[in-house]
Amino acid sequence: MPSSPKSSAKKSATKPLLLSAGVALAAITLGLVSWRATAPAETGSAGSASVTAPRTDPAAELKALARRESGDKLAVGRADAPVVLIEYSDFKCGYCGKFARDTEPELVKKFVEDGTLRIEWRNFPIFGAESEAAAKAAWAAGQQDRFDAFHAAAYAAGSKEKGFAEPRLVELAREAGVPDLERFKADLAGEQAAAALKRDQEEGYRIGVTSTPSFLLNGRPIAGAQPLDTFTAAIAKAKAEAAKQ
């Protein structure tokens, strides 16, 4: 649920460029796409013939961010699904929790289970050290095939208010059914978790993500925790377009 006015004011004071509802992503990303699409061709040095640089399709580049790795522990759905939803999220983000509770399960039931949709999560913590710790913990739970269950536990109503200090993360892992808690704690603190988090963060920053939740649906931005109908319509459209290719 949305943060209280006091909490929001505090976040605005410490992170004035972050928009909790994610309303700016489409404009920022599309602005980046527009800039790249209309950038002037590169030319050679003075006195030489001009050389036109090969142009790339920015929308295709965003679509290509879908990793489609069959062994991806932070993904659900077939690797060859016609539609891929990439979600950039933070476990301390109230709107991310709302999406995780109210919308995501319906998308899984309606579109993932019939092979239409694949969801790939990107850990994109923006609210400080506990956000980063929770992201690493989710990755660590995923190494034992419990990412989905950890994701649900961490986003349960009232969960983020309890914080994400290490004892709480271990408690969430136990609740999620992670079988080897000692391995979980080692993975949480390990270099691989940090590297995986860095990979997700760098990808998000590179395309202009500044808020959570933020989404790419077959390369097209969707900003914020939109209603189920918005995602349903967008998935249907993307599926139809994929069928024509």
- Joined tokens for residue 160: 């983020």
Q: Do residues 43 and 115 touch, judged by C-beta distance below 8 A?
A: no
Cross-strand partners of 120 = 75, 86
The low-confidence residues of the chain, meaning pLDDT below 70, are 1-57
Listed in sequence order, the DSSP H helices in the chain are 5-14, 25-38, 58-63, 94-102, 104-107, 129-142, 147-154, 166-175, 181-189, 191-207, 228-244
Residue 57 and residue 59: Cα distance in Å, rounded? 6
pTM for the predicted model, two decimal places = 0.78
Q: pLDDT for 181-215, tens place per residue? A: 999 999 999 999 999 999 999 999 999 999 999 99
What pLDDT, on the 0 to 100 scale, is given for residue 56? 59
What pLDDT, on the 0 to 100 scale, is given for residue 55? 53
What pLDDT, on the 0 to 100 scale, is given for residue 188? 98
